[in-house]
Amino acid sequence: MNAPEATVALPAAPGTPNPSRRAAAAPPPVPLAPVPPPPGPAQAAPGVRPPAEARARAGSAGAAPVVPTQVGADGLGRPAPPAEPARRTERRPVVTGLRLSAFGPHRGAAFRLGPVTLFAGPSGSGKTQALAAYEALAALGSGATLEEAFPDPGLRIPDLAVPDAGRRRGFRIGCTVDGPAGPVRLDLAVQAEPALRIAGERLSQDGQVLLATALRDPGRRSVQAAWLTGGAIGVTRAPLPDDRLGTALLPLRVAGATAGQRQVLAAAEQVVVALRSVFPCDPGPERMRAPVPPGEGRLRADCANLADVLRRTRRECGTRHALLTEAARTGCAGPVTGLEVRATAGGPVTAVLDRGPARPATELARLGAGELRFLALALVLLTGPGVLAMDPAAELLSAQQALTVLADGFDRCLDRRQGAELLRLAQLAGARGHVRLVAAVGEELGGIARSLPGVTVVDLSP
């Protein structure tokens, strides 16, 4: 059982060793004070010990090793390069790691995310909470407020967490985003009680703090922020709102006139692009059965307008529509020769399965819940942001972005054959690098996925 603790502090400051990168929960983290802003040019980074002291501390019995530090030309402390093989830099900004330092049932958990990542485990193991953390980070990266990203913040406070001296409780999450700028870490501490606000945020790269915010005055609706500037100034300090992600605001506040500013901008924009390129998807079969009015043909998160989107893909993208038709032959009962739509001028649109010349077509309203969810998820995996109701980042061309599909209950209502076919489509999409999948699945589909190449299965079983 985890010991009670208050959870409004960020993880350890740069310069301390990273927790285990395996997808397993570590012992409960020690609460720390909110992280101070980054130091000036003449200071060492907070929490970083001189090499001699670090070696002595690492040699003591039971003590965790401390990474020796190097001091760069800007005077900021940074850890020595880890003794591990160099990893390939992603061509497109993608989230490659999710950290739940203190979030719901998760304590000190770190998950590596690949092109296809499945969270598997029994009910109550924390699959939904993990995806909720990812979705909240994506919303904050898109400019949402804390209230919009966490409509139920009390449910995210870790079990048995007790208030601190200021009667505050909260949670801590973070992610690693890889891309052309290299791996960038984002860590966030959120105060959920007594008021929802950001308690601290850190953007860092290679152990160097690029941005840090801290809640200095509880009476003000702002946090004190400091980001790397370089040159004669060293660090710029300014207040930022306490209900929005500071990283998402940096492109509006940093001019990019110095090398330090350009480094901050590159890291912040990479994180924002990756977080904005997320499409949470949960098809609702009951909302997909009725005919829909014609629209712009952009698929909503509940996929209720599937018929209208099929009308658009059939007209504008024959190749992808043909791939979806081929998948329907596996995921739908009976013969399937095509996916067609019926619509009158200005009237509603109805999607049907063409059964061939010898059989009548079948309207989507007559399909089973599993068949409808299968068709919707297959369409999402085979398409891109232009067909989905989302607002991708404008900083990069769509060809330079990777879409990440979040799907809680991915295999809900699906049989084994349908689940396996969707995994095949996800593998193909992940191999191309354009579409990634992060989903929560049951133990059966998780067992199937463990033997598939290119699929990462995070086992959350007790």
Residues 344, 323: contact at Cβ < 8 Å? no
Q: Is the pLDDT of residue 148 over 80?
A: yes
* Least confident piece of the model among 10-14, 93-97, 256-260, 332-336: 10-14
Distance, in Å, from the CA atom of 111 to the CA atom of 114, rounded to the nearest integer, reads 10
Q: What's the token pair of residue 88?
A: 């390939």
Q: For residue 10, what pLDDT is reported?
A: 52
Q: For residue 84, what pLDDT is reported?
A: 39
For 93, 102, 305, the CA distances from 96, given in Å and listed in that order, are: 9, 19, 31
Contacts of 438 (CB under 8 A, 6+ apart): 113, 117, 119, 131, 134, 404, 405, 406, 407
Mean predicted confidence (pLDDT) in 4-9: 48
Q: Is the pLDDT of residue 269 over 60?
A: yes
Q: For residue 233, what pLDDT is reported?
A: 84
Give the helix ranges, DSSP H, for 51-116: 51-59
For 140, 244, 426, the CA distances from 369, given in Å and listed in that order, are: 32, 38, 20
Q: For residue 24, what pLDDT is reported?
A: 37
Q: For residue 8, what pLDDT is reported?
A: 52
Percent above pLDDT 70 for the chain: 79
Question: What are the backbone dihedrals phi and psi of residue 307, each rounded to the nearest 5 degrees, phi first?
Answer: -60, -40
Q: Is the pLDDT of residue 196 over 80?
A: yes
| Among the listed residues 321, 319, 297, 315, the one whose alpha carbon sits nearest the alpha carbon of residue 307 | 297
Q: Is the pLDDT of residue 387 over 70?
A: yes
For 2, 138, 306, 322, 382, the CA distances from 316, given in Å and listed in that order, are: 54, 29, 15, 12, 14
Q: Assign residue 181 a region: left if phi > 0, alpha if psi is -120 to 50, beta otherwise?
A: alpha
Mean pLDDT of the chain: 83
Residues 401-418: tens digit of each pLDDT: 899 999 999 999 999 999
317 burial via Cβ count (<10 Å: 0-12, 13-18, 19+) = middle
Residues 81, 68: contact at Cβ < 8 Å? no
Q: For residue 198, what pLDDT is reported?
A: 97
Contacts of 152 (CB under 8 A, 6+ apart): none
Q: What's the token pair of residue 64?
A: 């965790």
Residues 343-364: tens digit of each pLDDT: 888 789 999 999 999 899 999 9
Residues 194, 219: contact at Cβ < 8 Å? no
CB atoms within 10 A of CB 33: 10
Residue 459's SS3 state is strand
Distance, in Å, from the CA atom of 227 to the CA atom of 236, rounded to the nearest integer, reads 5
Q: For residue 185, what pLDDT is reported?
A: 98
Amino acid at 90: E
| Among the listed residues 14, 12, 67, 4, the one whose alpha carbon sits nearest the alpha carbon of residue 34 | 12
Q: For residue 393, what pLDDT is reported?
A: 64
Distance, in Å, from the CA atom of 243 to the CA atom of 45, rounded to the nearest integer, reads 26
Amino acid at 285: P
- pLDDT classification of 396: cutoffs 50, 70, 90: low
Mean predicted confidence (pLDDT) in 3-20: 41
Torsion, CA 313, CA 316, CA 317, CA 321, rounded to 10: 30
Specify the higher pLDDT residue, 69 or 139.
139
Tell me which long-range contacts 447-450 makes (C-beta under 8 A, separation of at least 24).
447/120, 448/416, 448/419, 448/420, 448/423, 449/116, 449/118, 449/120, 449/423
| Among the listed residues 363, 291, 375, 369, the one whose alpha carbon sits nearest the alpha carbon of residue 325 | 375
286 burial via Cβ count (<10 Å: 0-12, 13-18, 19+) = exposed
| Among the listed residues 204, 228, 223, 222, the one whose alpha carbon sits nearest the alpha carbon of residue 213 | 223
Distance, in Å, from the CA atom of 203 to the CA atom of 187, rounded to the nearest integer, reads 7
Residues 84-105: tens digit of each pLDDT: 344 555 689 999 999 999 999 9
* Least confident piece of the model among 29-38, 230-239, 261-270, 441-450: 29-38
Q: Look up tokens 């497109």; give the residue.
A: 92
Q: For residue 89, what pLDDT is reported?
A: 53
Residue 53's SS3 state is helix
Q: For residue 395, what pLDDT is reported?
A: 60
Mean predicted confidence (pLDDT) in 146-167: 93
